[in-house]
Structure 1
């Protein structure tokens, strides 16, 4: 044991025998690099009171024994102390308060006080103080530690921070500063007081008090902070509703009631038209939204009041609905007019794409409108549109465009088709394309420039007549107008007929016979002489020519025939049958002279009558029909006779002298034919008298 320690123990033992007492903290926490103040007072035995004089000094001794501070070594001799410091107390007043500067880091030791004077007063005190240093201190304290006040109340907050170094007290700061600040300095602490009037804006606000310590040179500032939350009671204010985001129909949406109230009770309501329904409670409410269920509001209430938010309409998005087509103009669509189709649909967001379809084919035109200009029957059909947005698409129902038009392509069909036999029944059917369908039909028969209505049904049935040139057509009528067909005629077939105009002319020794026939198909003419077919040759020339579409004429010339030559027969043949006409080539014998005379007289009278008629026509019209073939006899008017099949006609011989008289200067003779078929039988002639079929003037 060292000598110093022995001295200390002896002194300590001596002091314990006396009535000595010291007052100071048992523990002092300080900051590294800062100062530490040790508040200290002491008592001595009263018999030593006179020894407390100016020679006394304060000594501080650590646990291990060395003197770390001697108050007499301050000023000019500070280096003699282990701990630099300053005795701030007055020993004569029994005050031993001491400040130690720039405490070392992580320091912890017990220190004991000793009073030592230059007289008999020398004493150690057994009660020491534990001094520690570190880089942290306790947080400041805020009083009151909790706060709940009504709006408008006056509030006082105190922030207290320890001040182990009185010469370097901490700086106290309120954040946020919401009121007036007052600073208070105490021996071992520092106090900041903030006064303010409470507002609903303060509710839930965090208030902090910060203590900033600034150690001595060469050390880092240290900051310590204390928080508290303000609770202000107030009625509801600024109540509103917010929701997470734009919602798709059928999805779940989170709603938040943003009412400012303390305390707050939340109630949720759904609005549907004029009906309001309580649907939930709590600050947050979750619900499935639709186009109908999308209007909500909340109510905030407490004992101080009640407030409702405005009605919030959620932006519920959905794919196109109720997609329909509107037609403009309405009513029947006439060919050649224009029509506009408008595609309408409800969607959120609005429709971004429209597509038009006719049947299964997509139309080229896009957009909400489809305009059809100058519509045609081919424009008829089923149309629909498709509306699309980012959430889906929908097709409209089909609408049918019915393009109406007056009858067109009106035509007549014939049953039976093709050639029709004379006298048979035919049915004509009027066919037309029209919309609406034709409801009225009218049949017309055209004969030259004359037209006659024949019927008013779709079908017309009648019997055809040969050689008729009548034409038929129909008119179909609907509400928009008529349509007229082309005219039709008939190819009427009938078996051959040899006309009564067939005749023979004898000129000198030459006989020229003409056979006129009609039939459809056009007939073929065959000559038979004495029962044998005769073909064209130089000796017996035969010439044929067509007479229109159904007639044929064949002329045969015979030379130097015997009087006993048998009859000449003309045969007319087609696919439907045949007809024959026999010419008697011999003179009838045994004719009575009276009959011949009467016949001659009647022939002369007929010729005279015809010549008079010709002269009248000549002077009125200035026209005379001349023959084109020399030596050939032609008629100036059609001969109307009623010929019968297999009939015989006597050859009428012209008077040779009369013929020679008319042939002047090589001119062809003017001739006429008188139809004697209309003449009555001559009275007084017996049965053997032949009737003259023709009288020729040559």
Structure 2
């Protein structure tokens, strides 16, 4: 920039000097009519600066004006040694003034920024020159980010609570606009400055993540990123298990296994330790998660368990209590009693001469729900007591019943009648049930194992599949049933290519005719074509019937009735055929045309009927679906040791959203 301002001042001085020279030349014009020989001069050449962009060719001009006669001056360039370029020289004359111009074409690079470029004019005995300082413009490059907390070029590690400063710098000309971003949100920015500071006065764990610095000027952009990690003491310690009653209590039946997971948030990662009765059970180093596994729980495992997490910045611990459930029948007697456990009046186990007897159910299922009786007896008498076990399980044995059922998955109803379908399920706790049709809920109930679907007035629009979904906290099951609605024939129609309107057909004598009678009904109707009260053709259990007249004559003129009938009613419609006569001279052409038209028409009708029959068969087909088989899924034992006990059914393997595969078809 300094070089450019200096050149501008030189240009102004040259202009003033040129004006002065012009005045002197005018005064001498009458005295001298030709140029003089140059033995000495003080003028310097002029360089016209151009915008120099790195990597792009540019033309820089140097000119020298003279009125001297004799030997011509030579213009030369002094350039940096490794600048590639070419030179072209020209001479122009304006009156007695000769203008010598040299154009240097060069391609500069970033390393030439600040170097000099000299244009020299030389006579045999004297010379002068002018120097230009190169100002090379270029896109941002060599972006770097520095901080006192840097681990490497892309990672900063800071202790929580400290402050940090990250400096983003870049090389560019002109200077760049810089921006710091985090999570795609600009944090701060600067204009026309090749350096930008990011200051975080109080670092927290939320400041962890990637930070991008973007530098941009008119020639391009560059960006880089750096990752901040925040060191902090362990926190948010938690312990989880499938057997948890609440955040600090686990209830397990003796003989079962359990897994408790202790996890923590920290950086660097913590050393974790499980302890019970102040004895270390297991530990891990540099890991924020530690599992405590007890493969076979006994009553000796009852008690508090502590998990301790520790790193160089601090420590945290938490505890959880394990209780082990047993069903023990004990009695006071002397001599010792004979004890017996019974269920459904069947002896399960017994002991002789012992005042204590354990009831062990190694694998609880829903069939174990019920009352259990313990009887103690010695030679002086007997006593007994009972306890109730309730097993929690997913919904199972879902069924749908109705007085209109054809089979387990199909209900057939006459239009206009009401219907009731009852969906029931076995589950504990009781399920939330819902009926839905076309994926739209129709009704629902909460905490009830039975739900009624009532349709007070059935119409043909009620035809379709209906799903019942049962769900509780342990899983879900669903089943479906199909409703078909019987109704009398309706929407009877007759179609023909030559129809004038819905009740009239105009046919040229000698042509053929096909009229199709169709109707909507369920079950399918018996259709009949009649003419002059004479039956022409009929079909059974088919909602479509064709009337074919291969060669129409005048005697075919008249009314034709189509009647449709099923168990629920009948409907009929008539159509009038009018036969037009034609001249004998037209018969040949007419017959040929009629034959072609008949072929095309019959082909079209056959295609139409095939598609229509396929659609009708699909609509009337009812799939038979076999009874849904449900199986329970494993769930954890709940409370035990009181008069009412909740267990879970581990045999249940039905997952939420699954149903049994359909069997059979209608």
Q: Which has more strand, going by share of residues?
A: 2
Shorter-chain TM-score tier: 0.3 to 0.5
How does the TM-score come out when normalised to structure 1? 0.36
Higher relative contact order (CA 8 A, sep 6+): 2
How does the TM-score come out when normalised to structure 2? 0.37
